[in-house]
Amino acid sequence: MRTVTADEPTIRGEQPPHRHRITVEDYHRMTEVGVLTPHARVELIEGEIVDLAPRNDAHRRVVMRLDALLLQAVGGQAIVLCQMPLRLGVDCEPEPDLAVVRARPDAQPSERPTGPDALVLIEVSDTTWHYDHDLKVPFYARHGVPEVWLFDLSRATAHFFRGLAEDHYTDETATDRPGLTFLPGLTDVAVDLSGLLPTA
């Protein structure tokens, strides 16, 4: 019996199948024509539609608490978005759990924030650690997001990704006792994260 090696198609000069990636405009049209429902729990990551994990009570509590803390901290200096889409390029529209974006007086009401608007994106992970840490954090770096916070509820740990250099973060810190944390891009604005994570 002849063994077929993994690289044989390359040896024969064959091309692998082309993966068709959809654009943000395609993605929106799918909702307009009813292929996706307006309330579908999905996001567009580099041209591919990804189903979002169901939200459980622990996830909802932390997101709601963070939303309230951030709104109080930023005042009118920035805008806090809770589970709303953010456009990152022609084929990317993720839906982070929270985003702090620049306040733009010239923005139109229907205009969605883009990558350059972002100050920090926040993901709350319960059952989605590998997706958030291994895929979305590097993805955010590639699209120029200056800072990402990732709260791992299963391990009661907060991870902070900073020091964006080209397409990756040079500084990752983790703590099980997050406290007063300054928000990037804002003058002397900090949020107290004490008591946010679940305890044993």
Question: If you average pLDDT over residues 55-80, what whole number do you get?
Answer: 93
> Of all residues in the chain, what percent carry a pLDDT higher than 90?
55
| Residue written as token pair 């120029």 | 144
pLDDT of 2 over the 70 cut: no
Domain assignments of the chain as residue spans, ordered by start: 8-45, 54-192
Q: Which CATH class is domain 54-192?
A: alpha beta
Q: Is 129 exposed, middle or buried (CB count within 10 Å of its CB: 0-12, 13-18, 19+)?
A: middle
Torsion of CA 11, 17, 23, 29, to 10 degrees: 180
Compare 111 and 77 and report the one with higher pLDDT. Answer: 77
Q: What is the pTM of this model?
A: 0.84
- Both tokens assigned to 169: 């973060």
Q: pLDDT (tens digit, 9 = 90+) per residue, 146-155?
A: 999 999 999 9
Task: Check: CB of residue 102 under 8 Å from CB of residue 77.
Answer: no
What pLDDT is attached to residue 173?
97
